[in-house]
Chains A and B, each alone.
Chain A
Amino acid sequence: MSAPAAHHYTTTGLDNRKIAIWAFIGSECMLFISLISTYLIYKGRSIVGPYPHEEWTSPEGRHFEPILDIPVTSASTFVLLMSSLAMVLALAAVQNKNVPKRTTGERIIGSSKLWLWMTAILGTVFLGFQAYEFTSFVHEGLTIRTNLFGSSFFTLTGFHGAHVTAGVIWLLTLLAIDYRRGLGPNDALNVDIAALYWHFVDVVWIVIFTVVYLIQ
């Protein structure tokens, strides 16, 4: 949203958008809590495989390996974590745009463009991993219609993926602005809010990774 001109009085002194994004994140928590608890409730309720952590042989004698591939997903998780780091640096870069280089204290390593690109790319890589994961699961015989595990798994991770996608688009939008007129300290809030969202999506993934992949 375009910033309400500076003269607007606010009770807390904070910008409205800062408060709104926190309310939004609170709401998003309930969204993912519902998704994750559904996944947990349905864990082990599927009457046919394939299953996340156990092998399964179908009545027709077809054999299925455990679906989840933890090494690969660990890699994608690492990528997403790194993107959060890049996001932090991007924000710092925007905030300190006008701070002369080489001043002690805030030392800028790279430009806002660099780090925004970095974040967006890492996010995209994560999505790539997810696309790969989904397709390979489908080949192994797990679709969203196969069993309760398939339905709840794809819906949960799919929802998260959608959030990441939205985040990437948001970042690209910021980049576009950066290229058009350059992001300066008075855009810091816009970037800050994007960053909050990005970190939230990241944290959610950590939870999903732990609950879905690590806990057997």
Chain B
Amino acid sequence: MATTAVPTTLSPHATLKPDSNSGVWGWLTTVDHKRIGILYLYTALAFFIIGGLEAVIIRAQLQGPNGTLVSPETYNQLFTMHGTTMVFLAIMPLSAAFFNFLIPLQIGARDVAFPRLNAFSYWVYLFGGIFITVPIFFLVAPNGGWFGYTPLTTKAYSPGINIDFWVIGLQILGVSSLAAAFNFITTIINLRAPGMTLMRMPMFTWMSFVVQFLVILAFPVITIALVFLLFDRFFGTMFYTTAAGADPLLWQHLFWIFGHPEVYILILPAFGLVSEVLPTFSKKPLFGYPVMVYSGILIGVLGFGVWAHHMFAVGMGAIADSVFAVSTMLIAIPTGVKIFNWIGTMAQGQLRFTTAMKFAIGLVALFTIGGISGVMHSSPPADLQQTDSYFIVAHFHYVLFGGSIMGIMAGIYYYFPKMTGRLMNERLGNWHFWLNFIAMNLTFFPMHYSGMLGMPRRVYTYDSGQGWDTFNLISSIGAYMLVAATLIFVYNFFASRKRGEIAGANPWGAGTLEWTIPSPVPEYNFAVLPTVTSRYPLWEGSEKDAESARINSQEGKTAEELGIILPYSTIKPMIVALSMVVMFCGLITTMALTFLGAAIMVVSLYSWLLSPLEPEHH
């Protein structure tokens, strides 16, 4: 195994090719943040496709009134898994792909703080994702909605195995997110290159930094909510048993105390990516950098004080309603500042409309729509008409698809060369963007109307003559177009990986640190730890920046030649992750499995912790 630690020079696009660099085994045992980031990227895109297909079936069922494509039971599993998949298995991990790949490069580090823990996070995510996704293929998937309200999800009303997959699956995924968050917080606090002060950090790293805090503070809450549900379902506790006097709102509060910060966990990384793309293609530094930082932090903080805006219909009373209404509205202010500062960044610049730029602008244009409908929900009386109708569905797809997905797509087109050494095809990219942009609006804009015209969400069918037919038809057509758009992207991605034109270190003429090093990035990232004296070392840097940039940009040196020590590759994190998931599987099969898994986990964990991370320094 130690041999895999001996770095070999990378051919262009090597980092993307599983068979490069000591083969599949190399990927199973890698602790290199770049390769782990790429693993995240592939896995999350796969889950995005699955979640998308579920959505397309949903749209096919709702295309016309009295649809009979799928049974009610199947439909309920579809929307539950669609939401769960998109949120936990697609967007969060897509962000994680960028955390992994980018953060060390942006702050001038050789790797994350805990490379093996990083590998562990990925494997837990992969196995957890498989665990929660497989049931849909046997139509025994979770069917309680993505926020699994109790008492519906308790054994009394969901006796089947479906919800068990959901409870346990989310528990597993939580472990992954938390482990990753501790890792990145440490990395950002502690592994910044000399001179990389907090207020010089690239905006993506900043937003990721905020997100990690949201994760470590929000995930424990849903962990506990899920533990209660798990105990109720498996050990007969009564946390959600209304017959025993339980309060059905306990779950809702716990879930949304997690749930609202979660939505900012989903959007802030996209905001960060856009804040990298816009300056580069405007040839101007980010407008109002400090305000962008503070607004990001403020969004994160306020995000913890608004959860009950998901509960305006539960009858909290006038005072609570008013308080949460106002706190919710406040969030519009820092978010608005971001929107305007992005426009300010473009103003007076020289805009180059690459695909990445188009997607970034797409986010600014579309997220604003979703944000505004969000503010419309924030007025409780008005929300009493909107809540649980398609108007809400419209809102969160504008912020999630128009926001998160658009931003992530911008990021993929922008950083593809850094990952693979090759550029993505711009012509196909152009098609992808416009089809995506038009189809996205076709799909989700009509939902504003079907919602305000009385269509409840989560209905597997509806009567004709309710005035919803046309809007649903348009939405469905849009969804079909999105398939085409996504297929173009998928093709472009793989084709460019093979045949895209060679990019070079800095194809876009960008200014931040990650562009000072070769593409694809050598295993050790930086030949010398750079010394940073400004926010855009390549644009406004001093002699110092130029010097380290010059050294770091030269290709072909191996870590050995440079005397850089890299951590050993190791399979242990993966074994621990696997045995942990096995342990959880025991809950729904046989306890024996649980003990087996636990045993293997403990043993492999010890051998991991007691084995050295890397060769001794000599």
Identity of the chain B residue whose Cβ is nearest the Cβ of A15 in the assembled complex? B190
Whole-angstrom CA separation of A145 from B234 in the bound complex: 11
- Pairwise interchain contact B216-A23, C-beta atoms closer than 8 A: yes
Whole-angstrom CA separation of A151 from B235 in the bound complex: 10
- Pairwise interchain contact A14-B617, C-beta atoms closer than 8 A: no
Identity of the chain B residue whose Cβ is nearest the Cβ of A35 in the assembled complex? B224
Whole-angstrom CA separation of A16 from B244 in the bound complex: 47
- Pairwise interchain contact B227-A155, C-beta atoms closer than 8 A: yes
229-251 of chain B: CB within 8 A of chain A:
231, 235-239, 244-247, 250
B474 to chain A minimum Cβ distance, whole angstroms, is 43
A5 to chain B minimum Cβ distance, whole angstroms, is 4
Contact of B611 with A by CB under 8 A: yes
- Pairwise interchain contact A47-B245, C-beta atoms closer than 8 A: yes
Contact of A102 with B by CB under 8 A: no
Size of the chain A interface, CB-CB below 8 angstroms: 39
Chain A residue numbers with a CB within 8 Å of B178 are 27
Contact of A109 with B by CB under 8 A: no
Identity of the chain A residue whose Cβ is nearest the Cβ of B115 in the assembled complex? A4
For B186, B191, B221, B235, which residue has the most chain A Cβ atoms within 10 angstroms? B186
Whole-angstrom CA separation of A46 from B237 in the bound complex: 12
Bits for B581-618, please: 1 = Cβ < 8 Å to A, else 0. 00000000000000000000000001001111110110
- Pairwise interchain contact B613-A2, C-beta atoms closer than 8 A: yes
- Pairwise interchain contact B224-A148, C-beta atoms closer than 8 A: no
- Pairwise interchain contact A148-B191, C-beta atoms closer than 8 A: no
- Pairwise interchain contact A47-B247, C-beta atoms closer than 8 A: no
Bits for A20-42, please: 1 = Cβ < 8 Å to B, else 0. 10011011101100110010011
Contact of B529 with A by CB under 8 A: yes
- Pairwise interchain contact B216-A26, C-beta atoms closer than 8 A: yes
Chain A residue numbers with a CB within 8 Å of B614 are 4-5
Contact of B50 with A by CB under 8 A: no
Q: Determine which of A14, A47, A144 lies in contact with B235 in the assembled complex, contact meaning CB atoms within 8 Å.
A: A144
B191 to chain A minimum Cβ distance, whole angstroms, is 7
Contact of B339 with A by CB under 8 A: no
Chain B residue numbers with a CB within 8 Å of A148 are 238-239, 244-246
Identity of the chain B residue whose Cβ is nearest the Cβ of A16 in the assembled complex? B113
9 A-B pairs whose Cβ atoms sit less than 8 Å apart in the complex: A5-B617, A20-B185, A23-B181, A27-B182, A34-B254, A38-B254, A45-B245, A145-B235, A150-B237
Extra contacts, 17 of them, besides A20-B182, A38-B239, A148-B244 (Cβ < 8 A), are A1-B114, A1-B613, A9-B529, A12-B189, A12-B190, A14-B190, A16-B113, A16-B191, A19-B190, A23-B182, A23-B185, A24-B182, A28-B220, A31-B224, A144-B237, A148-B238, A151-B238
Binding site for A on B (CB under 8 A): 113-114, 178, 181-183, 185-186, 189-192, 194, 196, 216-221, 223-225, 227-228, 231, 235-239, 244-247, 250, 254, 529, 565, 606, 609-614, 616-617
